[in-house]
Structure 1
Amino acid sequence: MAFAGKWETESQEGYDEFCKLLGIPDDIIEKGRDYKLITEVTQNGNDFSWTQVYPTNAKVTNKFTIGKECDMETIGGKKFKATVSMEGGKLSVTFPNYHHTSEISGGKLIEISKAGSVVLKRTSKKL
């Protein structure tokens, strides 16, 4: 149940480069650069509800069960099927354009998204 709770972005590394690679418009990148993304996670065993609230007040919620294929959605509204796995306490899932991992380390939520050699690392504190 380590992921459960409400988290707020503390720092981001590689944000601009990652967003540009995904084709996000410059004005949206600008709005989001210093935005404190809120992530709300509920966890019941292997069942998760993972909600992120973005700068435009857009909200994306993905519900999934570890090891089972599910329907997911990107911030851009693209729907896809994915299976979230957990290894060593780290959640891992492949989105259409990148691979994403989440873990709790030192009481922080650490999210890493990789697209080729481009890496976005987001660190969030618990609220």
Structure 2
Amino acid sequence: MKRLLDRWDAIAALWLAAVVALVREISAWLPERVPTHWNHLGHIDGWTPRGQLVWFVAGVPVFVWTITVGLDALQRYTAKGKDAPVVGLGPMRFGIVSGISLFSLAVCMAPLLGNKSLLGPLIAL
């Protein structure tokens, strides 16, 4: 039986660690309150204290990663027999973790870009 965690999980952990380190580095240039949510018009309607940004950036990807590991374990341990085909979710977990953390990093950098919503041009379409 294959291992539950694979190299994609290690790559995702390294990626997330790099993003968290980058957020810690740029946090010195950020204001005390950082916008973390915009409404459908692109106006800021949610704020996070600067000290909690690391939790914002790391918390959601780790939560989603934990759920997908659980789904992978459920799939593997409920399969009928050891030879049943099992789809590895490692690449998907890496994609989800890297995508969410990259989006979170972009949200954290919004004050450096003038508090503009990064999705503003897409909303205007």
Which band: TM-score by shorter chain?
A: under 0.3
Larger gyration radius, structure 1 or structure 2: 2
Q: Which has the higher helix share?
A: 2
TM-score by length of 2: 0.27
The structure with higher relative contact order (CA 8 Å, sep 6+) is: 2
